[in-house]
Structure 1
Amino acid sequence: MKRSGPLLTLLAGLLVGLVMLSLNATTGEETTASTVQPSPSAASPGTKASPPAATPTATTQPPSPSPSGTAVPEGVYTGRTDDDSSAVAITVRDDKAIAYVCDGHNVEAWLQGDVRADGSMKLTGKGGTSLTGTLKGTKQISGKATVSSGSYPFTIAKAKKPSGLYRANSQVAGARIEGGWIVLPDGLQVGVLKRNGKPSPAPEINPETGALTVDGHHLTARPVTP
C-alpha cells in the first residue's frame, strides 16, 4: 500500500497537465496579422520609383492661312475716262503701281502706291490728287481719279506694246523739261509737256523708240515702271 503513493502522485500530475493543455487550447487568443498594401506611389527600399505616366497633351494645329485674293496681273493698263475728257494709265509691278492722268492740255497728275492682294489700290500724288481702282476680271481696272478738284471715273484695259505709259525728264536750253505720254491702243497719244513747270500739249513720241524733238533737241521718253 505504501508503494502506491508515488504512482498516484505521478498520475495526479499527468492529469493536471492534461487539464492545463486543454484550457490553453480553448481560451488562447489567435493573433491575426494585418496586411498593409503598399501605396502605389511608395517605392520599396532599394528600388527606383517608376516615373508617373505622361498625360497626353492636345496638339494645337496652326490655323490654315486664308486664301489670298487675286492680285492685279503685272503690266500697263490704259484707256480714257468715262466722260472721254482725259486719259488714264496705270503700270503695275511687284505689288506697286504708278498712274498718270492727263487731259492732253494742262491738267495732269502722277500718282503712286501699293496694290493689295485683292487687286484694289489707292494711289496718291501731289496737291491732294488720288486714284482708287479695283481689278475687274484679269484684264481691266475700274476706279476713279481725283485731279484738280475734278473726279474722273474710268475703266481701262491691259495694254500691249507700243501702247503704254512714257515719261521724259531733261534739260533743254536751260529749261527743265518734264513730259508724260499715254499711248492708247488705237495709237492716239495724250500727253502734257512742262517747261520749267508750265504745261502745254506734248509733242508726239515714237512709241517704238521713245524718240521726240523739243525745241530742236532730240530727247527720249522711256516706259514707266514702279
Structure 2
Amino acid sequence: MKRSGPLVTLLGGLVLALILLSFNATTGTRAGSTSTTNDPPPASAAPSPSPSPSPTRNSPSPRATPSPPADADYAGRTDDDSAAIAVTLRDGKAVAYFCDGRTQESWLKGDVEDDGGMRLTSKDGAELNGTLKGGSVRGTVDIGGREYGFTAPETGESALYRATANVRGAEVDGGWIVLPDGSQVGILKRDGKAAAAPEIDPETGAVTVDGQQLTARPVTPESSS
C-alpha cells in the first residue's frame, strides 16, 4: 500500500499534463483564427481620376465677304405713267436715265450698296433713291421740284442707249429707254432743244436723224463718265 502512492501521483501528473497540452493547442488555434479574421483587408488602390477634357473654344465661322449686286439692266415706268426710268448696274456702280419722252430728262449715277440700296445724282440736281430687291429696282426720282415713284423690272438685255453726233451743223444728243414690252421712250436734243426721239433698232442701235444714220450705243457707268 505504501508503494501505490507515488504511482498514483505520477499518473495524476501525466493526466494533468495531457489536459494542459490539449487546452494550449485549442487556445492557440482559436487565437490564430481570431487574429486572421479580425485583420483589416488590404486597402485597394484608389482609381486615378480621368483627366478632365480641356475646354475647347469654338472658332468663329468665317463670314462671307459681301459682294455688290450682279450686273444687270432694269427699265420701267413711273407710278403715274408719265415717264420712264432705266437703270444699268455694273461692278457695284449704276447709271440711270429719267425721261418723259417730250422735254424732261436727267442722267444720274452713283454707287450701289451690297444690300442693293442706291443713291444716284445728276449735274442738274436730280436725285434717285432706290433699292434692288426681287428682280426689280423700286424707288423715287426727285426732279424739277417733283417726286416720281417708279418700279423698274430686270430686262435681261440692254435697256439704256445714247447717241451723240454733229448732224447738219447741229450738236445732237439723244437718249433712249427700251422697256420690257419693246416700247421706247426717248428725247433727242438739237443744240439743246428737246423733242421726242425717233425709235432706234435695239438689235443694232441704228437710228436716222435728219436723214443721217447714227448708232445709239448701250450706256454703262463707265461710258457715261
Report the TM-score when normalising by structure 1. 0.68
Unaligned runs of 5+ in 2: 1-58
Partner of residue 71, structure 2: 74
* Residue deviations 1:154-201 (CA, integer Å, cap 9, x gap): 11111023x611000111011110000001111110000001111100
What pairs up with 1:11-22 in 2 under 5 angstroms?
none
> Offset of 1:104 from its aligned partner?
0.4
Unaligned runs of 5+ in 1: 1-61
- Paired with 1:93 and 1:160, the residues of 2 have a C-alpha distance of 14
Partner of 1:10: none
- The 1:126–1:65 alpha-carbon spacing in structure 2 relative to 1, beyond 3 Å, is farther
The runs of at least 4 consecutive aligned structure 1 residues that moved more than 3 Å come to 62-71
Superposed CA offset, 1:64-86 (max 9, x none): 77655563321110000111110
The residue number in structure 1 matching 2:179 is 184
Hey, what's the Cα distance between the residues in 2 that align with 1:96 and 1:79? 19
Distance (Å, rounded) in 2 between the aligned partners of 1:81 and 1:175 = 32
Do the aligned residues in 1 keep the contact of 2:128 with 2:140 (CA within 8 Å)? yes
CA gap of 1:65–1:108, structure 2 versus 1, over 3 A, is farther
Higher helix proportion (structure 1 or 2) = 2
Confirm whether residue 174 of structure 1 aligns to residue 144 of structure 2: no
**Residues 118 and 171 of structure 1: is their aligned pair in 2 closer, same or farther, counting only changes over 3 Å?**
same
Range that drifts further, 209-218 or 67-76? 67-76
Structure 1 vs Structure 2 CA RMSD: 2.0
Q: 1:167·1:180 contact (CA, 8 Å) conserved in 2?
A: yes
Alignment partners' CA distance in 1, 2:166 and 2:85: 26
In structure 2, the partner of 1:208 is 203
Instruction: Give yes or no for contact 2:136–2:151 (8 Å, CA) kept in 1.
Output: yes
